Amino acid sequence: MIVTTKKLFEAAYGKYAIGAYNINNLEQTMGLFRGNLMSEAPFIIQISKGARSYTDKRMLQALIKAADEVFPEAIFAVHLDHGDEETCYDCINSGFYSSVMIDASHESFEENIAITKRVVDAAHAKGIVVEAELGQLGGVEEHIQVSEDEARLTNPDQAKEFVERSGCDSLAVAIGTSHGAFKFSGSQSLHFDVLSEIQKELPNYPLVMHGSSSVPQEEVARINKAGGKLEGARGVDASQFKQAAKLGVTKINIDTDGRLVWTRVHREHFLEHPENFDLRKPGIVFMEEYAKFIADKNDKLGSSGQLDEVRKMIG
């Protein structure tokens, strides 16, 4: 069942965070639904601009609609990740997405508010909710590349004004994470002090943490052993997720870790089975491994076992 992120956030606020997972294809879709049902968790499907144009935006939409029928117990939101204004309107008018992110965080404070407000007005008119971003994460997220020098943490004093004036339903905050597999090249970690200040300014308001893959070191080691070149890759300490949830983070974005599972499965498969040319063989392994990965991540987010509560709340 497709719901808005707003509904999910009402259930989760202050207790746990909902996993927001980026998908691009059939195998990820199957693994995602299986993993969330295995761990009985509500979840958010994220579709980026890149994922929409990987084949045709209607393909992923049709896959998700089919998965909704195949797995009728699943409760999830369908969310546009890092949208520009035009893509937001396209998703709002699609009748499919329940939530969009407008990312105008690279603009000035005033321009970010103005753009976000336009998207909020259009989305709310159709019952769709909006995530916006204030502050800037470092790293690479498909078409967006931000150097460490350009990255800046969210200013807690500006956060309240931004939310009030733009009307956005949730806010992505920059608290030290970055996109991609190479985080924390310095000695950074999460800035819980900043997060706590933001929560004081915006009590009971859902916050979002982007760039939250953990880049598990055993995964990186297996990829490198099977011919990969990911030396120095590292990520966020997943044991900090629950602390972040207590401070108002209700949505945690994870993309890179899923890509690492795909890379490890396929590298190892073809190394061990050089004679194979049947794409379904590694595909079957990947779907299983991806489902296990999702279930394990949900345990760390605290969303495992919450599906029944959410179902009762939705009624």
- Out of 31, 211, 248, 302, name the contact with ligand 13P by CB under 6 A: 211
The nearer residue to ligand 13P, 203 or 232, going by C-beta atoms, is 232
Residues 104-143 that bind ligand 13P (CB under 6 A): 141
Asked if residues 207 and 241 have their Cβ atoms less than 8 Å apart, the reply is no
Query: Residue 22 carries which DSSP code?
Result: E
Q: Which residues contact 296 (CB under 8 A, 6 or more apart)?
A: none
Q: Which residues contact 164 (CB under 8 A, 6 or more apart)?
A: none
28 is a site residue for ligand 13P (CB under 6 A): no
Smallest gap from Cβ 277 to ligand 13P, in A, equals 31
Total number of residues binding ligand 13P (CB under 6 A)?
14
256 is a site residue for ligand 13P (CB under 6 A): yes
- Out of 17, 254, 295, 307, name the contact with ligand 13P by CB under 6 A: 254
The nearer residue to ligand 13P, 206 or 307, going by C-beta atoms, is 206
Residue 215 CB-half CA count within 13 A: 19
Strands 138-141 and 144-146: antiparallel
Token code pair at residue 57: 């935006």
What are φ and ψ of residue 227, in 5° steps?
A: 105, 0
Residue 159 CB-half CA count within 13 A: 28
87 is a site residue for ligand 13P (CB under 6 A): no
Single out the catalytic residue among 81, 103, 169, 255.
Answer: 81
Q: Is 81 known to be catalytic?
A: yes
User: Which residues are catalytic, by number?
Assistant: 81
Residues lying near ligand 13P in the complex (CB under 6 A) are found at 22, 81-82, 141, 179-180, 210-213, 253-256
